[in-house]
Amino acid sequence: MELIKSQQLFTEQNGSEEESPRFFHYSDSPYLNTGLNIVTWFFLSIGLLDFTLQSGIILASFISSLCQSMKSSRRIFGILIVLIFIFVRLNMAMVILAPIIIEWMSGTWVNASVTYVSLIATTIVYVPGIIFALVYIARYGASAKKADSRVMPGEEPMIAILMPIYNEPPQVLFRAIDSMFDVEYPASRKHLFLSFDDPEESELYFEVLAKLGILTPEKYASIMEAEMNNNSKPTEFKFPARIDVTFGGMVVTICRFPHGGKNSAQGHGFRLVQRLYSKTKESTYILSIDSDIILHPHALHNFVAYAQSHPNFMAATGLLTCSTQFNVNIYQYMQNAEYVDSQVFMRAAEAGLGAVTCLPGAMTFVKMDSFLDVSQAYFYGTKEESGMSSFQYHREAFGEDRYLTYLLIKSGTKPYQVAFVPNAVCKTDAPATFMTLLKQRRRWVLGAMACETYQLTSPIIWRRFPLLQIYKMFIYESRSLDWLAWILFLSLISLESWSELEQNWVLLLFPLMILLKYLILSGYCLFSRRKKLCFYYILLILLMPLFTLITVIYSACTWNVRRWGGPRGEGSKGNGCEVKNGKRRY
């Protein structure tokens, strides 16, 4: 009887039983309704496919992280986290379905679920990023101006610059090397380590020697002539595996190591740094960068100024943007917009909540003694991997930068030791073709999910950084909600009256937050002279959900494939990373 009375009451409040309950009421035009229904259901279907695939990959990563856990207490805690994730994720599905005409969605519990989940997700996912973005912009501005420093002239700490090299285009590598000399920091307090991931004396190697004055133009021409004629080089042109030279007032060490990948070359270089500077490890810093990086003239000074003003400093990254020096296409402009967006909002939020969770391999500034504490676990270039699971490979190889960050955060004792320094700016080359970009993002997706699901099941990290963990948890809970903007737009243009928004106002929080982010980012880009990004950020908002779906499908289909990806992986021998003789090769 109670059920019948409830049904009668529902009918009185919502009309006849034949009328389908709905959130938004469509126009009286049958042609408009038909067209909108087709398009809306198309986006809904794609959104639900993306939602399902991402949920599956995230759950697979969570389960794999539990299998990697050795302690039963961590497994129990991880199971609790997974259950919470599943519960909230199911409620997120209601948010995606909310604007659509589906009869069973008119129940009171569904309305309450959509309301509360939308409020919580919007608050946690967007508000911290907006707040801390404004804080960082107010503190550092939109330029990379030289920061005030406590370091007296002549007392600057030593900085060892580690640059792994393999198959780089010469003009890209030379541009990066030049920026190391051009940066405004005392030359005598910089030591550049060029670590070639190739034991052979390649043409690129000789070009570097010629650039640094080790080879005269005549000798370089003789070597190139011998190479072209397939003749053996004269004995006097054979060089040791390590060469030290002072050029432009800065010491440069050129090394050749057995081919084992970027991490291997970086590890060999670090061991050399350790031998040279172990006595001053407390006051020495290491800048690990890619061989396509262009440092802003004030980047090193601003890193040091931040580190010296924070006694508990361990490591930091700066603001990375895409280089537009050479021919740039729409892919690279959109990547530039994405880089700025993710750093200005997400990285600022992470730093404000306790710690940055990804120190990108492109540019990481770390205190040497902190690096020493985690170096044994991080440098895996010579470690056998025949018994490694795909999850472990994703975590330690594909997500090597996040893995290093996790080790540093775990070894720390206080919040804010792993930081973001937005006025330490550099530029990097972005993938120029769709397939190169897709392969890079596949590596990023699998690496990020492996590292961050492992971090989210860590009781230690939850105890030290509860707000950061909640923020990261909801970032993953809300994945796929980008499709909601399209679905809401189609629903809004079909409204008979704006008064219908009153009962569904909570759903508008998502597009309103996106609009607010766009306004903040546009202001930032205008002040930092990146005007084009204001337009490309709109394209990014519109096209990113589709590209994410393509990346997720590609990642799921290549889950067990252990191959590298990205701009330099495409040009390397073997077309990327492979496993050979039980060791990683890139």
Taking only the tens place, the pLDDT of each residue in 400-440 is 999 999 999 999 888 999 999 999 999 998 888 899 999 99
Alpha helices (H) in 230-284, listed in sequence order: 262-277
Cβ(439)–Cβ(340) below 8 Å = no
Structure tokens at 429: 């080359």
Percent of the chain scoring above 70 in pLDDT: 80
Query: Measured between alpha carbons, how far is 401 from 416 in angstroms, rounded to an integer?
Result: 18
What type of residue sits at position 15?
A: G
Q: What is the spatial distance between Cα 393 and Cα 406, in angstroms, rounded to a whole number? A: 15
Give the model's pLDDT for residue 474: 92
Of the candidates 432, 440, 305, 280, which has an alpha carbon nearest to the alpha carbon of residue 362?
Answer: 440
The structure tokens listed for 182 are: 């051009």
Q: Is the pLDDT score of 585 beyond 60?
A: no
d(CA 83, CA 87): 6
What's the burial of 181, exposed, middle or buried (CB within 10 Å: 0-12/13-18/19+)? middle
Structure tokens at 501: 């928004």
Phi, psi for residue 290 in degrees, rounded to 5: -80, 165
Please state whether beta strands 159-165 and 285-289 pair in parallel, antiparallel, or not at all (unpaired). parallel
pLDDT at 1 over 50: no
The pLDDT assigned to 350 comes to 96
Q: How far apart are CA 370 and CA 324, in angstroms?
A: 34
Biggest alpha carbon distance in the chain?
101
Cα 287 to its chain centre, rounded Å, is 18
> Are 304 and 285 a contacting pair, CB within 8 Å?
yes
pLDDT score recorded for residue 512? 84
In this structure, the number of other CB atoms found within 10 A of the CB of residue 1 comes to 5
Place of tokens 């880089």: 339
Copy the structure tokens of residue 49.
């496919």
Q: Which residue has the higher pLDDT, 341 or 504?
A: 341
Structure tokens at 369: 């003694």
Burial 78-100 (b: 16+ CB within 10 A, else e): beebbeebeebbebbbbbbbbbb
Of 178-187, 247-256, 453-462, 522-531, which range is least confident? 522-531
* Run of H or E including 253: strand 250-256
Q: CA 40, 41, 47, 51 torsion: positive or negative?
A: positive
pLDDT tens-place string over residues 535-578: 999 999 889 999 999 999 999 999 988 877 655 554 443 334 44
Q: What is the pLDDT of residues 223-269, one digit of tens each?
A: 777 767 665 555 556 788 899 999 989 999 999 999 888 888 899 99
Mean residue pLDDT across the chain: 82
Q: Judge contact between 521 and 514, C-beta under 8 A.
A: no
Q: What is the pLDDT of residue 571?
A: 42
User: Residues 6 or more apart from 216 whose CB is under 8 A from it?
Assistant: 210
- The whole-angstrom separation of Cα 534 and Cα 324 is 16
Residue carrying structure tokens 């546009």: 522
**How many whole angstroms separate alpha carbon 538 and alpha carbon 328?**
18
Identity (one letter) of the amino acid at 467?
Answer: L
* Average pLDDT of the residues in 285-295: 94
Phi, psi of 94 (to 5 degrees): -65, -35
